[in-house]
Copies of this chain bind each other. A is one copy, B any other.
């Protein structure tokens, strides 16, 4: 069995993987110096672990029987024609992503973003900051997208006695199920958490009208997809002009953000730089799921986290 790995693994994760797949042949893209060797290793592989940049090479990898992405999202690969089984990291990033969003919200409410900058400058403002601080307790929150991240955020926010609303097209209990209902609900919300997957339906889903429907004290969070907003410039303007209270953005339309991007200058904004899913044991966790799925694959059993490329989930 030939396995081709194109993932940003460090030494520990590679060793864990090599120990687990022995005696299969395991080749890592970043250990193959020449591009041609990389292309060839992928072309001969039975199994792919990771997310190759070169779509053309992947399209030609005709021996592939199984693709395990190291991400949850896979929109980049939606037009790939393949008979391989495809699996993703669904659910795996829920905890870190949920924690990053709650951390960002709490930082805004409790001033931790400002205190971090003051610490760097060694400036004490003390008591003067107190009237600007807010509480997460009992805030009204709408979770837009009821996947694993949204569910986890909602569960954590229960501990703060927040009132949780859900936007979901498919969840029968969701009170907010259409964009029109969402626009109606937004003016009542203190916090809007967008955690939608990257599909055709979610590109530009969050319209300018929706941004304008939020309270001037509301905080907008996005941990789903960078191009969720119909117009990111409208979000920038709303933050700059104080028509919106703040934002916690793990993803943005352009990444990395260029140094002259206006989001850097927006007040009350947390930019977590697409690290929401990260944590110390991240790569070990990916290898672990891969090895579990590899065992199932060898036994001819259904794999965990199977997805349909063209459907987007």
Binding site for B on A (CB under 8 A): 8, 10, 95-96, 99-100, 102-104, 106-107, 109-120, 122-127, 129-137, 155-160, 255-257, 259-261, 264, 269-275, 277-280, 282-283
Contacts and interface: CB of A to CB of B under 8 A. Distances in A.
Give the oligomeric copy count: 2
A134 B273 contact: no
A109 B99 contact: yes
A129 B280 CA distance: 10
Contacts of A255: 124, 126
A269 to B, nearest CB: 7
28 contacts: A8-B127, A95-B137, A99-B135, A99-B136, A99-B137, A100-B112, A103-B109, A104-B110, A107-B112, A107-B116, A110-B275, A112-B116, A112-B270, A114-B116, A115-B271, A116-B270, A117-B117, A118-B273, A122-B261, A126-B256, A126-B273, A127-B274, A129-B273, A131-B283, A133-B275, A134-B280, A155-B159, A156-B159
Contacts of A118: 271, 273
A25 B129 CA distance: 31
A102 to B, nearest CB: 6
Contacts of A129: 273, 275, 278
A112 to B, nearest CB: 5
